[in-house]
Amino acid sequence: MKQFAALVSILGTSTKTNDKLEALSNYFSTANDADKVWVIALFSGRRPKRVVNASLLQQWCIELTQLPVWLFEESYHTVGDLAETIALLLPQTTGNDGNDAQPLHTYLTQLVKLEKETETVKKEYIVTCWMQMTKDERFVFNKLLTGGFRVGVSQKTIVNALAQAVQLPAAVIAHRISGNWDPSTTAFQSLLSEEHASLDSSKPYPFYLAYPLEANPQTLGEPAEWQAEWKWDGIRGQLIKRNNELFVWSRGEELMTDKFPEYNDLNTLLPDGTVLDGEIIPGIDGQPLPFALLQTRIGRKNVTRKQLQEAPINFFAYDLLEYNHEDWRPKSLTERRQQLEQVVNGAQHPALLLSTIVPFDTWEQLAATRRQARDHFAEGLMLKRKSSSYQVGRKVGDWWKWKIDPFTIDAVMIYAQKGHGRRSNLYTDYTFAVRDGDKLVSFTKAYSGLTDKEFNEVDAFVKRHAIEKFGPVRTVKPELVFEIAFEGIVASNRHKSGVALRFPRISRWRKDKKPDEINTLDDLKQMLRLYGTAGGEQT
């Protein structure tokens, strides 16, 4: 556990990718195999089921420290991380030097066992562990308990570190650690073996990801060498048919087959040994519906008949990764596309559609088409080099996403809350309002888009002008004006303003504007009429 705590500490604080890589690679070369498997699992989002909820952990910590609840909460708002707050508040121990005899995997095995135990048993185990641990160990232990192991290290870095440690190409590693495997029953050697990979018929391929196109598309060269498609606003997914079974994976490596019964028939309609890359997206007759509808589907365990009618899900296929049990990724996009069209047309299923190719002869022409993306319910264009193979992860060169400019609106900040992680003890989470006559109506929150320096400035403003002293939220004088950018707008009866925004963020601080110069609720409603869709969140 000490070794793992040290690793997390380096990954969490180091600012250099090389240092992280070295620490990971060093870990993968020295740690015991069972621990390594768990680390791969944890860092790729495969954490054990949560055995206790956050409020129980908080309660036990309060009992142990005898602190008033409000003081625990003040501490939590300041630290911005529950696992860390508890680690800091528990009485200090010197840490048992011999406790590295308890490696990471034993704790995780215990936690898996605890799932079925009573609360009393869970409490006893967790409290005992706490009292034997140092602050850093408690922190990672609490992270295991609360889940969400985001440690500031990308999947790519983990893959590269593993590749270094076991001397295999990164692309191979990326493929082998993907998909469906259980860290408590998988051995390190077999996880990385070729045999194991071929035994798992659900195993997806690592997704090929595009970089945003910042430069003029002219820099890409001849238009004839490129294929353009709409960039859809859904969930990237892989549809896999192998051994007469159908699997649906999201880009977040979540197996989502059961969530989309619409695809069930494809199991008989697709040829065996087929893997499609495409967009999981709500739609009717090939016409996409807003993303908000998809959200109503993925949150549910069981899909109701009503949902199936209101938010039917399509699959817009744009690539073919495996055909006839053969890995087609090395082939050219043109070749893959041809075969893809045959596969999709051959299946003849209303939920499986081809993501259409957007024709163009010149970049100017394509730029004009891109401006109409919203009319096609797309968020821009994808540009793919026709000769390109299907690569692993985010790579510069052959695939680009060329998004349309976001909507913007000027708003005033009315509430602020302290942030999390590296924004601990800093007011960085804001609520914004537009004007409605002489009133202000809140319509969105936004957390990102300012520089560290700007956040510091706003933070100082909040601290000077806050009305409340306790609790997480500060009401501030409506004085600071910001331009809010967002990707979409839908009607919502859950929000006072009647609208919900998609991916809102701060695009800039309008120091040149006064609060009486901001946009109005009518402006928002106008946008909703023009670009919005009703019924978004009305379930």
Partner 1 sequence: MLIEFTDKGLYCSAGNFYIDPWKPVDKAVITHAHSDHARWGHKAYLSHYLTVPLLQARLGPQQYQGIGWNEPVYMNGVKVSLHPAGHIIGSSQVRVEYQGEVWVVSGDYKTENDGISGAFEPVPCNTFITESTFGLPIYTWQPQPVIFEQVREWVQRNGKARQNSVFIAYSLGKAQRLLKALEPLQQPVYVHGAVWNMHQALVSAGIDLPPVQRITPETPKETFQSAIIIAPPSADGSPWMKKFTPYEVGVCSGWMQVRGNMRRRNADAAFALSDHADWPGLLSAVKATGAQQVYVTHGFQSAFSRYLNEQGIWSAEVKTEYGGEEETEENTVTEDNTTGGAA
- Note the residues at the interface with partner 1 (CB under 8 A): 12-15, 19, 65, 67-68, 70-71, 74-75, 78-81, 84-85, 88-89, 92, 139, 152, 419-426, 452, 456, 459-460, 463-464, 469-470
Pick between residue 74 and residue 537 the one whose CB is nearest to partner 1: 74
Pick between residue 46 and residue 420 the one whose CB is nearest to partner 1: 420
Pick between residue 136 and residue 341 the one whose CB is nearest to partner 1: 136
Q: Shortest gap between Cβ of 423 and partner 1 (angstroms)?
A: 6
CB atoms within 10 A of CB 337: 21
Pick between residue 16 and residue 494 the one whose CB is nearest to partner 1: 16
Q: Shortest gap between Cβ of 25 and partner 1 (angstroms)?
A: 16
Q: What is the DSSP letter of 97?
A: G
Pick between residue 252 and residue 421 the one whose CB is nearest to partner 1: 421
User: Which runs of E-coded beta strand occur in 340-426?
Assistant: 352-354, 357-358, 378-385, 393-394, 399-403, 407-418
Rounded Cα distance, 178 and 190, in Å: 13
Q: What is the DSSP letter of 387?
A: T
Rounded Cα distance, 131 and 129, in Å: 5
Q: Shortest gap between Cβ of 92 and partner 1 (angstroms)?
A: 7
Q: Choose among 352, 360, 275: nearest CA to 319.
A: 275
Pick between residue 28 and residue 455 the one whose CB is nearest to partner 1: 455
Q: Shortest gap between Cβ of 464 and partner 1 (angstroms)?
A: 8
For residue 130, how many C-alpha atoms fall within 13 Å in the half-sphere facing its CB?
24
Rounded Cα distance, 250 and 277, in Å: 10
Q: Shortest gap between Cβ of 451 and partner 1 (angstroms)?
A: 12
Pick between residue 41 and residue 79 the one whose CB is nearest to partner 1: 79
Rounded Cα distance, 214 and 249, in Å: 30
Q: Shortest gap between Cβ of 15 and partner 1 (angstroms)?
A: 5
Pick between residue 90 and residue 501 the one whose CB is nearest to partner 1: 90
State the residue for tokens 């998809």.
294
Q: Shortest gap between Cβ of 31 and partner 1 (angstroms)?
A: 20
CA dihedral 382, 449, 507, 472 (to 10 degrees): 130
Q: Write the CA distances from 498 to 75, 311, 494, 522, 530, integer angstroms.
A: 35, 21, 7, 11, 15
95's CB contacts (< 8 A; 6+ apart) are: 132, 133, 134, 137
Q: Shortest gap between Cβ of 420 and partner 1 (angstroms)?
A: 7
